[in-house]
Structure 1
Amino acid sequence: MTAWQDRFDARMMRSLGKPLAKLARGEGARVWDDEGREYLDFLAGIAVNSLGHAHPVFVEAVSRQAATLAHVSNYFATEPALALAERVVRLSGAGDRGRAWFGNSGAEANEAAFKLARLNNSGGARTRVLALVDAFHGRTMGSLALTGKPHMRQAFEPLPGGVEHIPATFEALEANLDDAVAALIVEPIQGEAGVVELPDGFLERARELTRRHGALLIVDEIQTGAGRTGAWFGFQHAGITPDAITIAKGIGGGMPIGGLVTFGHASDLFQKGMHGSTFGGNPLATAVAGAVLGEIERAGLVENAARRGVQLRERILGLGSPLVSGVRGRGLLAGVALAEPIATRVQAAALESGLIVNAANDSTIRLAPPLIIGDAELDEFEARFARTLDLAGRG
């Protein structure tokens, strides 16, 4: 092992896997390791770095706010937090009754959503919370209870109760939604499951049934939000109005932040003292998130994600590789389906080719590049991914 790998092995918690490289700096859609080797970054910190690395808007927002006010606690209001709340309510279409709460991560946002579900329990009859098989909502105890992946849950059971995981089918919706359900929480695209889309019409039917039975429909937009799928939020492709969404990752562009946005009557469920976070909504994080979302809006990056996503799929399929059996996803969240369970080998070959991608599972490569990518980055990706597939095919 190298010196830095020895240091990592000696001092970092063993819950973390072996790092692929030690990165030193980034610019745009590129990063460099500590030996000066350059990589094209088509993972963007797992759908986090919406503007890429070291974007001037991000850098300026951090510098400006850090020089004035970084943290004050939630006993006080600040302009960045108020402005960000107004912006995410507007972009989500939550309307006049929309409200926002801010925390520090996606898992924390889903903890807040879990609490919201529990509050939708007038008379104490709503004891069930539904989530989907293969869903991923985070690694804290509450968000892990919502996560439909047994291998992640087993070591920590018993988890908070009342959560049931159902398949993403119309039959399961019909059979399980009743008046005892407090909430259904879903991802529009299951990123950690291998970029798996919900069946056509699933969200629309889920909205009909949850409304009929008085259950909340909560949409986890942590990976699909901030323009990544070619709409500001993934649920907007379905033309529905949920009761709440959780947000994180791309809204901060690299600054840790998460949040919950509520719609309609769901905005009245939390009362004073029911939830909070020391760092949640701090002026530094909210100022940066506001600047990132403002630049996505100003530069038309939602539209860019839609357009470049189509081109990215065309480029991948156009390679004609026997290792590729299809491409799933929407916008700039793509899952390359492999004909063989060699995703880890493909990920390693990509790194050797100067390309950062992710093995989401044994047979899927996940791509989530910065929203700023254009023709040059797509050309370079195509060349490097072709080399990647060639190397991986040789074994």
Structure 2
Amino acid sequence: MTTLFPTYKRFDLSVKRTSGMTVEDTNGKTYIDFGAGIGVCGLGHRHPDVQEALENQLNQYWHVSNLYHNPIQESVANKLTRHSSGDQVFFCNSGTEANESAIKLARKATGNHKIISFEKSFHGRTYGAMAATGQEKIHTGFGPMPEGFHYVPFNDIDAVKEAVDHETAAVMMEVIQGEGGLNVADGEFVKEVERICREHNVLLIIDEVQTGIGRTGKAFAHQHYGISPDIITSAKALGNGIPVGAMIAGQSLKNVFGPGSHAATFGGNPLAMAAANAVLNHVFQDEFLQTVAEKGTYFLNQLAESIGKLPVVSSVRGKGLMIGIECHQDVSGMVGSLMEEGLLVLSAGPNVIRLLPPLIVSYKEIDTAVHMIEQVLSSEAVNQS
């Protein structure tokens, strides 16, 4: 009998140890991990560079107040700003906290309260981030949401134009909706959203919690679209399993959060910063990002060729190593069947199999995963006939 709140519908898998691309359960069975802790372990499990950085930091200091200087925070912030359109960073502990910070910053900077976000979006589970999430199921049972949040259909520029007004503080967007079903934003739509924001002096917030830190073959996914957001949020893969979040913002917003306006006791924790520093040293290399892009293209092509015409499959889509297989039915059984075969994958909504392998995945491991997916989905198609 568990003493944990039943907030997760857990699989019958108890983890014993992990390494690289592999998860081993307490029965000795091994799995190839194409979920990466929901996009967290971008460099795989227990990457030696990250582990060494953590061990070194453990022997120096674990925590000091943010009232004192922590030099490693400056190192990580510098890497994040050098590889983004931002100029300063606020560190916190999760993607939800990063998005809460972004909402607060936008409202304080503009003096306006309205935040426009998108249907099927996901921004977190605290009240502000939950209110920004355009999914009713996330809101259900928690009473009235904070006011000022307005949802419009994804990839519908006319709806954005109609929604933006003199009370709008920001438009908040994922360029690939992860939890909402691996929905990829149209290029012209993203550029037009940025133009509308500039025209109306509205801030543009890009949520890169799942899409950032190399996942799509760029440092941040919005860079595929050639835009410069005012605010970027990051977490998940930033610490490769050590909890950390970051909000990155432009120079014009630097003085909006002065002393006492916003804080996080554990934000920028030295251990989290050590992990993030090692991650960024590895991921933010042009050659590494290029390999991610190439492996992502290969993976998409192999999936399209092997399963694209199966009657159970509606579409295969994504960018880099963030891929969704939309099916004509609920995919929970297929996710379970793949786990039985030794492949860990995720879902995104009821009908999409979500694939987020560590960025270090090999072509051989991609081929193995494609073969397993083809077998399970082909079997499902036969069962449905």
TM over 0.5: yes
1:199 is the counterpart of 2:191? no
2: CA distance, partners of 1:373 / 1:102: 29
Give the equivalent residue in structure 2 for 1:303: 290
Give the equivalent residue in structure 2 for 1:3: none
1:106 deviates by: 0.3
2: CA distance, partners of 1:280 / 1:71: 10
After superposition, where does 1:12-161 map in structure 2 within 5 Å? 12-94=4-86, 98-122=87-111, 126-161=112-147
1: CA distance, partners of 2:186 / 2:129: 24
After superposition, where does 1:176-191 map in structure 2 within 5 Å? 176-191=163-178
2: CA distance, partners of 1:297 / 1:174: 35
Corresponding letter in the other structure for 1:387: Q
User: CA deviation digits over 1:244-292, x for unaligned, max 9?
Assistant: 1000001111111001000131223211111001100011101110101
1:13 deviates by: 0.3
Structure 1: which 5+ runs fail to align? 1-5
2:159 to 166, 169, 172: 172
Corresponding letter in the other structure for 1:247: S
Corresponding letter in the other structure for 1:115: K
Identity of aligned residues (%): 36
2: CA distance, partners of 1:200 / 1:352: 38
1:382 is the counterpart of 2:370? yes
User: CA deviation digits over 1:112-138, x for unaligned, max 9?
Assistant: 01101211334xxx2311111111000
2: CA distance, partners of 1:171 / 1:212: 15
Give the equivalent residue in structure 2 for 1:327: 316
Corresponding letter in the other structure for 1:54: R
2: CA distance, partners of 1:205 / 1:264: 23
SS of the aligned residue for 2:254 comes to helix
1:348 to 305, 311, 336: 336
1:15 deviates by: 1.8
Give the equivalent residue in structure 2 for 1:236: 223
1:394 deviates by: 4.9
Corresponding letter in the other structure for 1:32: E
2: CA distance, partners of 1:252 / 1:383: 31
After superposition, where does 1:334-373 map in structure 2 within 5 Å? 334-338=323-327, 340-373=328-361
- 325-334 or 184-193, which deviates more: 325-334
- The question of whether the paired residues in 1 share the 8 Å contact of 2:214 and 2:284 is answered with no
SS of the aligned residue for 2:284 comes to helix
2: CA distance, partners of 1:100 / 1:20: 39
1:298 deviates by: 4.4
1: CA distance, partners of 2:25 / 2:84: 37
1:387 deviates by: 2.3
SS of the aligned residue for 2:348 comes to strand
Over the residues paired in the alignment, what is the CA RMSD in angstroms?
1.4
1:208 deviates by: 0.9
Q: Give the TM-score of the pair, scaled to structure 2.
A: 0.95
1: CA distance, partners of 2:80 / 2:187: 26
2: CA distance, partners of 1:198 / 1:155: 30
Change (3 A) 1:109 1:145: same
2: CA distance, partners of 1:391 / 1:23: 28
Corresponding letter in the other structure for 1:378: I
- 20-29 or 107-116, which deviates more: 20-29
2: CA distance, partners of 1:58 / 1:110: 25
2: CA distance, partners of 1:50 / 1:90: 20
Corresponding letter in the other structure for 1:116: L
Change (3 A) 1:297 1:121: closer
1: CA distance, partners of 2:51 / 2:380: 37
SS of the aligned residue for 2:187 comes to coil
SS of the aligned residue for 1:268 comes to coil
Q: Give the TM-score of the pair, scaled to structure 1.
A: 0.93
User: CA deviation digits over 1:215-267, x for unaligned, max 9?
Assistant: 11000000010010111101111111110100000111111100100013122
User: CA deviation digits over 1:352-371, x for unaligned, max 9?
Assistant: 11000112122110000000
2: CA distance, partners of 1:393 / 1:139: 36
1:375 deviates by: 1.5
Structure 2: which 5+ runs fail to align? none
1:179 deviates by: 2.1
SS of the aligned residue for 1:142 comes to helix
1: CA distance, partners of 2:189 / 2:255: 27
SS of the aligned residue for 1:184 comes to strand
After superposition, where does 1:208-223 map in structure 2 within 5 Å? 208-223=195-210
2: CA distance, partners of 1:301 / 1:25: 26
- 319-328 or 189-198, which deviates more: 319-328
SS of the aligned residue for 1:129 comes to strand
Corresponding letter in the other structure for 1:91: H
- The question of whether the paired residues in 2 share the 8 Å contact of 1:120 and 1:216 is answered with no
User: CA deviation digits over 1:287-340, x for unaligned, max 9?
Assistant: 1101011111348332122111111111112214332222111000011111x2
